[in-house]
Amino acid sequence: MSNPLKLLKTNASNPKLWILIGVGVAGVVILAETRRRGRNGKVLQGEDFGAFIQRFELRPFPQPSPPAARQSLAGLTFAVKDVFDVKDYVTGFGNPDWKRTHDVAEKTDEMVTLLLKNGAACVGKTVMDELGFGITGENKQYGTPINPKLSSFVPGGSSSGSAVAVAGELVDFALGTDTVGCIRIPASFCGIFAFRPSHGVIPMNRVLSNSPSLDTVGWFARDPSTLHRVGHVLLKLNSVEPRRMRRLVIADDLFQLSKVPLQKTVHVVEKAIENLSGYQSPKHMNFGEYLASNVPSLKGFHNQSPTLQKGITILKALSSVMILLQRSEFKINHEEWIKSVKPKLGSNASEDVLAAIKTSYDDIKTLYKVRMETRIALKSLLKDDGILVIPTVADPPPKFSTKKGIASEFRDRTFALSSISSMSGCCEVAVPLGKQDDCPISISLITFHGADKFLLDTVLDIFSALQEQVGVASNNLLPFADTNGDMDASELLKEKGNAAFKGRQWNKAVNYYTDAIKLNGTNATYYCNRAAAYLELGCFQQAEDDCSKAILLDKKTVKAYLRRGTARESLLLYKEAIKDFKHALVLEPQNKVANLAEKRLQKLIS
């Protein structure tokens, strides 16, 4: 017997020895985790970033003998979200209690099998938000995957592990599912591509469903070529399709929700297609107002706020219908299991599941009517050549393990964007466009239901030009330089701006105020007045920025706080808006506008 074993046998009843052993084991675990994360919370390359629930290997089917061509996915590896059936493994839905109460799958999902037949190898199942609820990617049971691009920020969900496995270069592509943004959000946060296909075009017979009317199978990739190849296999597309013109439609109002400079998003897209054949000059529109006019069933789901633009309230209404539909269908499918098993859930998932089980909306046909009207509206707008351009998400990812959970404003702004494809069933692709303040930037391209190949081909066609313009934009973004000029001339321009404003010529007013600022960039009134014109135009982000500059120059400008509060409310930043209205009341206690606005927002948040 070895000396350590003799010592253990001799002192087996000594409690001090077991304490030492316990401390030693804990030290090993801590050391392993420290090595995994590296210094300052950064994950060391080569580790798995906590992406996998279960590792295994499903080898591809035998390749055809030469001279036959190799299969299109030969040599590639992939992972699958923990909702796909794999024979002899339990499909766990991201929750140990679900896994414990269900049997192993008798067959492998046909999409997984299709990928194996085309030469790819599956290497495991990935972590997800429990039961498919959540947009942060956090999982208290299995651990939250670490965002390879921003290790102290959430990876996004619910298909978090699949996104992380691709972003961390653990696999070439990965499967997930998208309900309310579950593929698009993590793709944006992790800086990779993701494709949400048209609803219903990929069968989900052996895929666990959160909400059948919203669920789709989707996939992640690091490059457009792999995204394209995987899409051709899963969608069983023809390799050749007649070339047609492309017409990009840029949703200006939705880019107002994003804090990323337009030079890094809209301008990049516009410049990229300038020299490409087959693209019309992009058209700009207010998408929310279009939706308000073309989806009449939404009128019963929103309350018009006096300070919110009509389009924004309609998008909030659309997202509220989406969440109501998700909860209603989840309750129908899973209420019995939830009540009988009483599963242990993390706090975020528990809140969502409880809200779903408590849902008592009887008129579900109305929700389906909104869904159908939204699809028709998108088809009418885009016809057979149009592609809608929007931000994938409005905000950078929240920090990991935020004790208070994610803010209601973050959810509202995120769902306002993701609801468009979820509720219309249209196909959408998330495309990475570099970084802003070290956070990945992403835009989404959406086209009509059934045009999946058209959209995949577009990404493949346009991405190199987009990359080139991303580099140009990054090099050319310089801080705005204020210059002092002729004071009398700047005052004259301000007065012309005021006259144009009174005449409801908002764009003309903006131009006059801008010229005044160029001559004298230290006058708070010029910024504050331009912000008022921007508010009338629905340019909320520009209005917020101008008010912030005005406040830096003069902290007692009440109008700047009021206008910034209005802009922030329109951007669904309720808590920040409340602070502005409160500050206005401190400076001017009898201000009725600030008083009413603060009370309204406090009631909304509560």
Domains of the chain, each with CATH number or no CATH:
52-399+406-476 (3.90.1300.10), 486-605 (1.25.40.10)
Return the percentage of the chain with pLDDT > 70, whole number.
87
| Phi, psi angles (nearest 5°) of residue 283 | -105, 145
Q: How confident is the model at residue 32 (pLDDT cuts 50, 70, 90)?
A: very low
With b for 16 or more beta-carbon neighbours within 10 A and e for fewer, the 425-445 pattern comes to bbbbbbbbbbbbeebbbbbbb
Per-residue confidence (pLDDT) for residue 525, from 0 to 100? 94
DSSP annotation string for 164-219 = HHHHTTSSSEEEEEESSSTTHHHHHHHT-EEEEPPTTSS--TTB--S-TTT-EEEE
Contact at 8 Å (CB) between 460 and 223? no
Per-residue confidence (pLDDT) for residue 12, from 0 to 100? 47
Could you read off the pLDDT of 504-529 as tens digits, one per residue? 888 899 999 999 999 888 999 999 99
User: Would you call 572 helix, strand, or coil by DSSP?
Assistant: coil
Q: How confident is the model at residue 487 (pLDDT cuts 50, 70, 90)?
A: low
Residue type, 467: Q
| CA separation for the pair 424, 380 (Å, rounded) | 12
Residues near 502 by beta carbon (within 8 Å), at least 6 away in sequence: none
- Among the residue ranges 166-180, 188-202, 220-234, 308-322, the one predicted with the least confidence is 308-322
Q: How confident is the model at residue 157 (pLDDT cuts 50, 70, 90)?
A: very high
| CA separation for the pair 598, 93 (Å, rounded) | 42
Per-residue confidence (pLDDT) for residue 27, from 0 to 100? 41
Burial, 253: exposed, middle or buried (Cβ in 10 Å; 0-12, 13-18, 19+)?
buried
Q: How confident is the model at residue 242 (pLDDT cuts 50, 70, 90)?
A: low
Q: How confident is the model at residue 119 (pLDDT cuts 50, 70, 90)?
A: very high
| CA separation for the pair 494, 508 (Å, rounded) | 11
Per-residue confidence (pLDDT) for residue 348, from 0 to 100? 85
Query: DSSP code of 105?
Result: B
Residues near 48 by beta carbon (within 8 Å), at least 6 away in sequence: 165, 168, 170
- Mean pLDDT (whole number) for 208-220: 98
Could you read off the pLDDT of 283-306 as tens digits, one per residue? 999 999 999 999 999 988 876 554
Q: Is the predicted pLDDT of residue 407 greater than 50, yes or no?
A: yes
| CA separation for the pair 91, 107 (Å, rounded) | 11
Q: Is the peptide bond before 158 cis (omega within 30 degrees of 0)?
A: yes
Contact at 8 Å (CB) between 310 and 288? yes
Q: Is the predicted pLDDT of residue 11 greater than 60, yes or no?
A: no
Return the percentage of the chain with pLDDT > 90, whole number.
75
Per-residue confidence (pLDDT) for residue 236, from 0 to 100? 93
Per-residue confidence (pLDDT) for residue 476, from 0 to 100? 67
Residue type, 386: G
Q: Is the predicted pLDDT of residue 483 greater than 80, yes or no?
A: no
Sequence length of the chain is 606
User: Would you call 53 helix, strand, or coil by DSSP?
Assistant: strand
Whether the predicted model's global pTM rises above the 0.95 cut? no
Per-residue confidence (pLDDT) for residue 241, from 0 to 100? 67
Nearest to 253 by CA among 443, 577, 538, 570: 538
Per-residue confidence (pLDDT) for residue 605, from 0 to 100? 82
Q: Is the predicted pLDDT of residue 160 greater than 60, yes or no?
A: yes
Residues near 445 by beta carbon (within 8 Å), at least 6 away in sequence: 387, 388, 389, 428, 429, 431, 455, 458, 459
Per-residue confidence (pLDDT) for residue 455, from 0 to 100? 97
Query: DSSP code of 280?
Result: P
Higher-pLDDT residue of 24 and 213 is 213
User: Would you call 56 helix, strand, or coil by DSSP?
Assistant: strand
Per-residue confidence (pLDDT) for residue 6, from 0 to 100? 44
- Mean pLDDT (whole number) for 380-396: 96
Higher-pLDDT residue of 44 and 332 is 332
Mean pLDDT of all residues belonging to the chain: 88
| CA separation for the pair 21, 509 (Å, rounded) | 75
| CA separation for the pair 411, 407 (Å, rounded) | 7
Rg of the Cα atoms in the chain: 27
Q: Is the peptide bond before 67 cis (omega within 30 degrees of 0)?
A: yes
Per-residue confidence (pLDDT) for residue 397, from 0 to 100? 95
Q: Is the predicted pLDDT of residue 83 greater than 50, yes or no?
A: yes
Per-residue confidence (pLDDT) for residue 403, from 0 to 100? 60
Contact at 8 Å (CB) between 410 and 398? yes
